[in-house]
Amino acid sequence: MDVDSDNIKDYFVDRATASPNWSYGEGQSQGSVDIIPNMNINQIISGVNGTNIPISTGNGISFTNRSIIDLVSLNDSLDQIPDLICLEADFHNVTQPPYNWSISSYFINGTKSNSLYVGSFELRYNMQSSIPALDLLEFEGQPQPNLLYIESNSIRLYNLSSSNFMNQTYNKPLSGDINNYEIIEDLNSDGISEILIFHGSGEILLINGINGDTIRSFFLSHEIDESIVSEVPNSGSDGVTYFLVSSSKYDSGTETNQAFIDIYSIDITSQSSVWSLVDNTDSSGSIASVLDVDLDGDNINEIVYYERFMPFGAMQPISRYRIYSFMTGKVFGILNLEYNPERITNIDDFDGNGRRDFLLNDDGRLVALSTKKPVGIWLSSEFTMGIPLFIALVAMLAGGVIILILKGRDLRVHRGRIRESLKKSKLTITVNAVVLILMTLCFILFLAQLNIFNNTLISNNQMTGLIVIFLSIIILWYAILPLTAAIYNQFAPNFAFLFIKLRNMFFKISRGYNHEIFVVDMKERKQLGTVGQIKRVILPLLLSIAIGFYIYSTFAPTLGYPQGFEQFGSTEFFQFMIGYMALSIFPMVLSYLLFSFFISGNFLLDDAGIVYYKESKKYRSPGDIEPISIWAQSMVKGIAGFSALITFGTFFLSVDFSGFFRVEPGNEFFLIFGILIVIVLFWGMPFFTSFSYVLFASEIMEFSNDVNTRKLLRLMEKAGFNTTPRDLTNIYPPGLVKKDKVETSDKTKIEK
């Protein structure tokens, strides 16, 4: 009911007072809460912001200090009939049972109208059972509904008209223990809804709403301990209704719950089973609910049901929700989540598609889900970067392919040499194969451990945040690898010529040296060599470490990302991984693109044999011949090396990885998983990335070495440099007799 006239429903809240300490029974390891009797606060709160709506009695907040078991509200708050009717439990502690139960009525201002004692009972809270309960039963032609009260072994009906308020219409005792009930449509055309009563034995009673008589009864195919019952709305007026029973039965032999979902059709004379599901796979059982939406236009609403499901290759089961038409067998949507619901409830449309949605109650959490069919990750509204990232991925791959195609004409004539080069490129092939296998295996294991492959993205969820950032970074890692190699290969001549011009410019500025930039004749020295390949990895590695770990160490605390966690899968774990992926790995990968001019340019300078000679014009010092690449790298190598050492050490001293090694009994595989994750994703990530990116790019450049060298030499010629290959001056000047060593018969060496 809308109490404060803001067109939003308001809520009646019963807040209990609990003792400050946990209560432990004999032999119990899990504590329970002790509720202090008759210290409840019962108030109305705004449906807009949850603030208290004051009343004019008592302390201005609470209607009563008793426990409220159930409540119904009447729509017209301006008439002389009370607005709220409550089922109250008053603790007296004199006899057993200790609570006196009564039906009490209140006006909206807090004034109590009357109270009707209905018996003494225990007070138990059971989320799966709606008994005892109050409900409203509409009577055709009457302005006010009637009040239906159902307890464990009887049903009662009370008149709510102003002249006969709370006069009893009937009181029907029923045998057995009532587990649940549901008010359904009028089946006998008397203008009054009928009532379904469910016993724990599995017996179902169809009750005539007008007089409480039993029309017919039948049994489920199984006994039940607890049940959730819902009528399935059917817009057709054919005298038949459908209802859903979601129930469970504890099996003491296997110490598990058997879960049952049954849908029946019923009329005055018969009933039949329409659809059923039995779940024996998990002690939590299965839960189903009727949706307030007809998705296929057959005039019968769809259902949503939950079950525990172990996907192939997953480390742990997931909670799978199916939006399902039991009449046609069509599945409208599957949602894989990490929530195990206690109850599924219909709510108003929140995503703007015009269809009512549903709510999960999971161990203190409320999760709202849409009834629309989930879409792929690229199109998900929760993955706002999905389409841009997909476009970026395609663009990177296409860019790399296009660049390589443009190079294809030059490479055709060298196919034989390329094949020979591949045979000799054992280091590159081996390292890249090992790195890609390790990285891919680690990524897949990490995704599988978190069930990322089987999860649906939802708002404000830690798992969603990790899925989005993890997949984004990993996709970019693989996409940037070929793009980096293509950029290095395509623009290496231009980048190399940039450093030649810089070196020449500094010579002209200083004017203190005789100098020359020239090309060394490489002759038959065509192979780079294993040591040379490894040395090329060092500087890019240092740059990526310095950048990645500096950004993480600087911004992670500022942005609130923890630098460790105690429990795998905890909130701290998700935040830690999101921070590490976004602030460390992502900058590391980007560094290879950002420094492409520096890395590829220096590679080609060495491959083409570009060196410089300098000799002081004034001061006594020997002349020097040095590769331009060494001069270029000297500007950053020292800073990069020192920064990498500091940031790398700071990161691993400040980050706590112990959460990866907390192994529960029976899950020893997690220890192997934790070791692999730490080695590959943390300790090894900078090294694996550098070796993979640099060696792969270097190998691609090797295929085009002759072509790129010619381009570089043409650029130098246009700038006026002499590009004729030269031999270095012989270390032995002309006229100096070299001494040959020979051996005598007594094996002593002499000179001649």
Q: Which of 404, 395, 392 is nearest to 696 (CA)?
A: 404
Q: Rounded to an integer, what distance in angstroms lies between the CA atom of residue 605 and that of residue 20?
A: 75
Domain finish residue from 108, 125, 142: 125
Cβ burial, residue 494 (10 Å; 0-12/13-18/19+): middle
Domain of 552, in residue numbers: 386-718
Domain finish residue from 101, 125, 149: 125
> Residue 13: what pLDDT?
92
Do the Cβ atoms of 680 and 688 come closer than 8 Å? yes
> Residue 121: what pLDDT?
79
pLDDT, tens digit (0-9, with 9 covering 90-100), for 96-140: 778 888 999 998 888 888 888 888 877 766 555 677 889 998 887
314: in domain: no
Query: 744: which DSSP letter?
Result: -
Q: Are strands 194-199 and 178-184 parallel, antiparallel or unpaired?
A: antiparallel
Q: Which of 125, 127, 128, 106 is nearest to 115 (CA)?
A: 106
- The one-letter code for the residue type at 157 is L
CA dihedral 677, 680, 686, 691 (to 10 degrees): -160
> Residue 104: what pLDDT?
92
β strands within 160-255, DSSP E: 167-173, 178-184, 194-199, 203-207, 214-219, 226-232, 241-251
pLDDT, tens digit (0-9, with 9 covering 90-100), for 321-331: 888 888 888 88
> Residue 699: what pLDDT?
78
> Residue 517: what pLDDT?
85
* Mean pLDDT on 278-289: 64
pLDDT, tens digit (0-9, with 9 covering 90-100), for 10-21: 889 998 888 888
> Residue 661: what pLDDT?
67
Do the Cβ atoms of 131 and 178 come closer than 8 Å? yes
522: in domain: yes
Do the Cβ atoms of 68 and 88 come closer than 8 Å? yes
Q: Rounded to an integer, what distance in angstroms lies between the CA atom of residue 184 and that of residue 689?
A: 64
Using a CB cutoff of 8 Å and minimum separation of 24, what contacts does 398-402 make?
399/483, 399/486, 400/482, 400/483, 400/485, 400/486, 401/482
Cβ burial, residue 276 (10 Å; 0-12/13-18/19+): middle
pLDDT, tens digit (0-9, with 9 covering 90-100), for 600-654: 888 888 888 888 888 887 777 777 788 888 888 887 877 888 888 888 888 777 7
Query: 223: which DSSP letter?
Result: -
581: in domain: yes
* Mean pLDDT on 263-286: 76
> Residue 86: what pLDDT?
92
For the chain, state the CA radius of gyration: 39
Q: Rounded to an integer, what distance in angstroms lies between the CA atom of residue 192 and that of residue 142?
A: 11
> Residue 103: what pLDDT?
92
- The model scores a pTM over 0.85: no
Q: Rounded to an integer, what distance in angstroms lies between the CA atom of residue 258 and that of residue 299?
A: 32
pLDDT, tens digit (0-9, with 9 covering 90-100), for 546-569: 888 888 888 888 888 887 777 666
The Cβ-side half-sphere exposure at 471, using a 13 Å CA radius, reads: 21
pLDDT, tens digit (0-9, with 9 covering 90-100), for 31-77: 777 888 888 899 999 888 888 888 888 888 899 999 898 899 887 66
615: in domain: yes
pLDDT, tens digit (0-9, with 9 covering 90-100), for 379-424: 666 566 667 777 777 777 677 666 656 655 555 445 555 555 555 5
Number of domains in the chain: 2
pLDDT, tens digit (0-9, with 9 covering 90-100), for 171-227: 999 887 887 888 888 888 888 888 998 887 778 889 998 888 999 888 887 777 777
Q: Quote the percentage of the chain above a pLDDT of 90.
A: 4
* Mean pLDDT on 699-721: 85
152: in domain: no
Do the Cβ atoms of 80 and 162 come closer than 8 Å? yes
Q: Rounded to an integer, what distance in angstroms lies between the CA atom of residue 117 and that of residue 214?
A: 26
> Residue 149: what pLDDT?
92
> Residue 428: what pLDDT?
65
Element (H, E) at 645: helix 637-654
Q: Quote the percentage of the chain above a pLDDT of 70.
A: 78
- What is the 3 state secondary structure string of 286-302? CEEEECCCCCCCCCECC
Q: Which of 125, 119, 85 is nearest to 102 (CA)?
A: 119
> Residue 747: what pLDDT?
43
Domain finish residue from 125, 143, 159: 125
The tokens for 667 are: 């899950």
244: in domain: no
Q: How high does pLDDT run on average in the chain?
A: 78
Specify the 3-state DSSP secondary structure of 544.
helix
pLDDT, tens digit (0-9, with 9 covering 90-100), for 138-169: 887 777 888 999 988 889 999 888 777 888 88
* Mean pLDDT on 266-273: 87
pLDDT, tens digit (0-9, with 9 covering 90-100), for 507-543: 888 777 787 888 888 777 666 777 777 788 888 888 8
- Is the alpha carbon torsion for 556, 562, 563, 569 positive or negative? negative
277: in domain: no
For the chain, give me the number of helices (H) and strands (E)? 13, 31
391: in domain: yes
